[in-house]
Amino acid sequence: MKKKIIKIVASLFIVLLIIDIIASFYFYDLAISRGQKDFLSGNKDLEVSADTLDVLLEGGWRDWVSSQDFEKIEMTSRDGLTLQGYFLEAKEPTNTIVIGAHGYLGRGSDMGLYGQYYYEELGYHFFTADSRGHGRSEGEYYGFGWPDRLDYVDWINLLIEKLGPDTEIILHGLSMGAGTVLMTAGEKLPDNVKVVIADSPYTSVHDLFSYQIKRMFNLPPFPFIHSTSLVTKAKAGYSFKEASALEQVKKAEIPILYITGNGDTFVPTEMTHELYDNTNSEAEIVTFEGANHGESFVMYEEKYIEVINEFLEKYMVE
């Protein structure tokens, strides 16, 4: 009887292990591997107002982006990928440039939503890039900010070389881009990088996926997130726990402005507050009432701009 129980338990363990392995590769292909992602379609956590959707899809900022003469700049990443960047020189001489980091499944041009203001109203240079695996950049996986942080360090150095040693840099990221600029902030950066603006960031890839697997699939994080992380480490070179904006901001020396909406259920606003509470450098946080994920700028454009300007006036050297 005892041997029979042991055999049943062992068989059950093997079956569960096989299921976990299959699920791990499924979730890797679902979220990490480059390609079309239909699983976000109809996701209630990403629902925004009709007005917001109209601005995001057909707002005048898109016409502005398409009408600008962006200089295309290619860079080879440290692991050999060709990455595509886009530089827009300011109309008048300036030593300030904004680097915009886009969200998951997006592309650099998406940051024109913010770039238009920085360029037209503040008179700054504007730069954005297609993150690895996105747009015209090479890469067969999405890095969720971790390998990308080194790409952005290299973009920063390239732009300083292009524009001169007195260049002052603002990093502004949205969603995955917010995670990216926060992870970048934890690296050793030149003094040219003056401030970071992170809109709707997550604490870590592990935390984000643990939250999402429960919301989207009603599954527990363990063992699926842990085993998918192992697959990601083997295939993409990073694990979910090491891809941590939270650990990076504990090392940051650059002032950081956190922006979140308390209606964000895709990346809960609690993550932004945890990041703020653990930031080593000077930091501020602003929460926009009722705004869903990445919706704050569209819902509260005037207030959003006011918040940014006050932060820049406080920390930028003119």
Average pLDDT value for the chain:
94
With tokens 């079956």, the residue in question is 15
CATH architecture of residue range(s) 46-204+243-315: 3-Layer(aba) Sandwich (3.40)
> What is residue 318's predicted lDDT score, i.e. its pLDDT?
52
Contact 256, 191 (CB under 8 A): no
Name the pTM for this structure: 0.95
Residue scoring higher pLDDT (40 or 316): 316
Residue scoring higher pLDDT (56 or 20): 20
> What is residue 316's predicted lDDT score, i.e. its pLDDT?
86
Residue scoring higher pLDDT (132 or 53): 132
For 281-299, write each residue's pLDDT tens digit: 999 999 999 999 999 999 9
Enumerate the β-bridge partners of residue 141.
Answer: 33
155 CB-contact burial (10 Å; exposed 0-12 / middle 13-18 / buried 19+) = buried
Q: Give me the residue spans of the domains in the chain.
A: 46-204+243-315
What would the mean pLDDT of 24-43 be, rounded to a whole number? Answer: 86
> What is residue 55's predicted lDDT score, i.e. its pLDDT?
84
> What is residue 42's predicted lDDT score, i.e. its pLDDT?
67
